[in-house]
């Protein structure tokens, strides 16, 4: 056999392009410094993280269960109230009346008093104007005797702003909370 190629008579020179093609398909050699291997895993810390995740899931499930139970209680209460006090006519119940009845049933009086006091002493402090307005609106439902009158509500809002904003807004005597909020945000 005079030929030194592969069986079947193929010349050896054809192998060279195949090798080059194979080399081109391989990943290029990494450039730059070679990184050290990652540190070994501390399985104690890893397991502690897993346990915390499972506990968080259990707390979340417990909170969901409590929320569902509270919703069931509220649904039963509302259905009973409609039958006994409103003769199954939910359309005729004003929102303010519903809120009053709901709070009387599900929010203890001392909590309502505490929230009213928080509303009465609320000031902007370190909050942004929008954060202050959000908290103001949230707590205002505990002081309906103030917020039913739009001018009193607006005055309470303005008086709780930071002094620099308050002095600027007081001069304009805004009639609505939206006007005062808009001016405070400018």
CB 153 within 8 Å of CB 180: no
Helix (H) or strand (E) holding 183, with range, is helix 177-185
- Residue 112 and residue 107: Cα distance in Å, rounded? 7
| Cα–Cα distance measured from residue 148 to residue 152, given in angstroms and rounded to the nearest whole number | 8
Q: Which two tokens stand for residue 94?
A: 């004003």
How far from 123 is each of 128, 160, 186, CA to CA, in Å? Answer: 11, 4, 19
pTM > 0.75: yes or no: no
Each residue's pLDDT, cut to its tens digit, for the chain (186 residues) gives 455 555 555 555 556 667 667 666 776 666 778 888 878 877 788 788 888 888 888 888 888 888 888 888 888 888 888 778 777 666 677 777 887 888 888 888 899 899 999 999 999 999 999 999 999 999 998 888 888 889 999 999 999 999 999 998 888 888 899 999 999 998
Query: SS3 sequence, 7-39?
Result: CCCCCHHHHHHHHHHHHHHCCCCCCCCCCCCCC
Domain boundaries defined on the chain? 64-106, 108-185
């Amino acid at each position: 056999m005079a030929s030194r190629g592969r069986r079947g008579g193929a010349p050896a020179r054809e192998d060279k392009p195949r090798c080059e093609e194979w080399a081109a398909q391989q990943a290029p050699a990494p450039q730059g410094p070679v990184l050290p291997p990652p540190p070994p895993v501390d399985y104690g810390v890893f397991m502690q993280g897993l346990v915390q995740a499972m506990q968080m899931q259990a707390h979340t499930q417990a909170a969901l269960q409590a929320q569902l139970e509270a919703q069931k209680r509220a649904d039963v209460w509302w259905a009973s109230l409609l039958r006994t006090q409103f003769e199954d006519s939910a359309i005729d119940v004003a929102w303010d009346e519903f809120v009053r009845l709901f709070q009387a049933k599900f929010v203890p009086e001392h909590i309502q008093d505490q929230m009213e006091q928080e509303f009465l002493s609320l000031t902007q402090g370190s909050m942004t104007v929008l954060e202050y307005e959000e908290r103001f609106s949230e707590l205002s439902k505990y002081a309906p005797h103030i917020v039913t009158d739009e001018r009193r509500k607006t005055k309470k809002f303005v008086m709780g702003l930071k002094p620099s904003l308050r002095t600027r807004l007081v001069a304009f005597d805004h009639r609505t909370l939206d006007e005062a909020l808009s001016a405070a945000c400018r």
